[in-house]
Amino acid sequence: MDKKIYKNRRESLINHLPINCALIVPGADLQYRNSDAAYNLRQESSFYYFSGFCEPSSLMVFVNNGKTIDSIIFVPPKDKLKEIWDGYRAGPIGAVEDYLFDQAFENNKIDELIPELLQGIEKVFYPIGKKEGFDQKVIDWTCAANSKDRYMHSIDIIDGSSLVGNMRLIKDDHEIEIMKHACNISAESYIEVMKAITPEDNEQSVEALFLYEFAKRGGRFPAYNPIIAGGENACVLHYIENNQDLNSSDLLLVDAGCEFEMYASDITRTFPVGGKFSKEQLAIYNIVLKANKAASDAVKTGNSIMEPQLISEKVITEGLLELGILSGDLDSLHSEGAFKNFYMHKIGHWLGLDVHDVGDYMEDGEYMKFKPGMITTIEPGIYISSSMDVEEKWKGIGIRIEDDILVTKSGNINLTAKVPSDPSEIEALMA
C-alpha cells in the first residue's frame, strides 16, 4: 500500500493541532495467551490509521511548538536474533524511509525523550483511559517535562479521542474500497453458509463454517466474536457461547462479519434452521424487515442520525400493535417507550477500523447529521423471550436484520445488500 496515504492523514491531523500542543498516540502491545505464546498482534486502530505500522509497543508523537510541526515515532529496535524468531523489524531508519515519519527513535528511549519533546508545550492530547497504565505514563512525562524548567507553566492533559475519532469517522476513498471488499467477503460467506446449513448442524459448526468462508476469501479474522444464536438464544443480544444444538423449527440469528486489512464488516441475518418460516416467525420477521428498510432509507446527508432510530421505533411499535402483542394508541405507546421491552437497543453504530467505530454522535450539543463518507450499521430487532407476558406462540422468537450503510452525497449505498433479507429469497436460497 502507498505509505503516502498515512503521511497525508498525519499532515491533516497536524493541521488541526493547536500551537504549543502535542498529541500522543500509543500502539498496541503483545498480549500473551499463556507462557511465551502470544496472540496475533492487532495494532491499535488509531495508531494504524495514521501510520500503517504494525510492530508492537510503538508510539507516535505529534508536536507543534510554534516553529516546527513534527511527526515522531518510537519503534522496536533492530535486533537480528528477534528478527530470526519473529520477523523483520523496520527500526528507526525504516520508520523514516519506508513510513515517511519526520523522526524515529527506538522505543527504549521513550521515557528519556518524550519529556524533552514536551518542553514548552502547553497542552498534551491523548486518548485518556483507553490503554491500561498509559494515563500514568503521560502524567509522569508531563511532570518530568515541568521539572526541567521551574519557570515552565504546568501542562494541561486533554482527551484527544474526539480529535482523532472524528477524522476516522469520515472514510476516504481508500477506506471505502477496503470496507466494500470486507462487506463483500462477509456477504458471500453468508450466502454459502445459508445454502449449506442443515438441522443436523449446531451453533458451533455454523460458526466454523463462517470462519472458514471468511478465511477462504481473504478475511482471516472475524471483526468480533460471532453470535450464532439458535431459538431463544437469539434473545440474548450478545450471545457468544455458540455451543447449543439447533432445532429445525427454530430461527437462527447470526451476527458475524470479517475483518479485511484491519477494517470491519458487520452483518446480521435471521433465518429458519429448517428452511421455512412459521406463520408467527414470518409475522415478526416482516416487522423487523420493514423497520430495517425504512431506517436505511433515512440514512442521508443532512438527516439527523436519530431519524433512523425514531423511524425504527415507530415501525416496530406499529407492527407489534397490529399483531396484538401491544395494545393501546400508537403515538402514546411510542412516546411511552412500550417497544423497549422488545427492542431495547439503538438502531446502529459507526463502522470502520473498529466494529463499534470511533467518532462522536453529538455535535454542538445536538445529534450529528449524516455526512458523506460516514458508514453506519442499521440493525433493528425484536426479541421475545419465554419469560415475557405474551401469547405462547410468540415466545422464543428473536430476530435482527443488520446492514452496513455508506452515506453518499446523493443518498446511501447498502454495502451488504448482497445477502438476502427478503424471506422468500431466504427460503429459496435454503431450499
Nearest to 246 by CA among 268, 218, 274: 274
What CA–CA distance (Å, rounded) separates 90 from 100? 12
Q: Cα(264)–Cα(357) distance, rounded to whole angstroms?
A: 9
Which residues belong to the active site? 36, 238, 255, 266, 345, 349, 356, 379, 383, 400, 402
* 247 contacts 385 by C-beta, under 8 angstroms: no
Question: Do 4-167 and 170-430 fold alike per CATH?
Answer: no
Amino acid 36: pLDDT:
86
CATH topology of domain 4-167: Creatine Amidinohydrolase; Chain A, domain 1 (3.40.350)
- What is the structure's pLDDT at 150? 64
Dihedral sign, CA of 268, 274, 275, 276? negative
Q: Are 74 and 107 in contact (CB under 8 A)?
A: yes
> How far apart, in whole angstroms, are the C-alpha atoms of residue 267 and residue 187?
8
Name residues whose C-beta falls within 8 Å of residue 273's C-beta, 6 or more positions apart in sequence: 197, 199, 201, 230, 246, 247, 248, 249, 250, 251, 252
Which parts of the chain sit beneath pLDDT 50?
none
For residue 15, the model assigns a pLDDT of: 87
Is residue 286 helix, strand or coil? Answer: helix
Eight-class DSSP state of 39: P
- What is the pLDDT, as a whole number, of residue 318? 98
Q: Helices marked H in 52-160 — which ranges? A: 80-86, 91-97, 110-117, 134-147
The dihedral sign for the CA sequence 279, 280, 283, 286: negative
Q: What gap in Å lies between CA 97 and CA 77, rounded to an integer?
A: 15
pLDDT at residue 196 in the model = 96
CATH class of 170-430: alpha beta
Domain ranges of the chain: 4-167, 170-430
Question: Residues of 288-319 as b/e, b for ≥16 C-beta within 10 angstroms?
Answer: bbbbbbbbbbbbbbebebbbbbebbbbbbbbb
Residue 383 cell numbers, joined: 426479541
* Residue 269: strand pairing partners: 254
* Contact by Cβ (8 Å): 427, 271: no
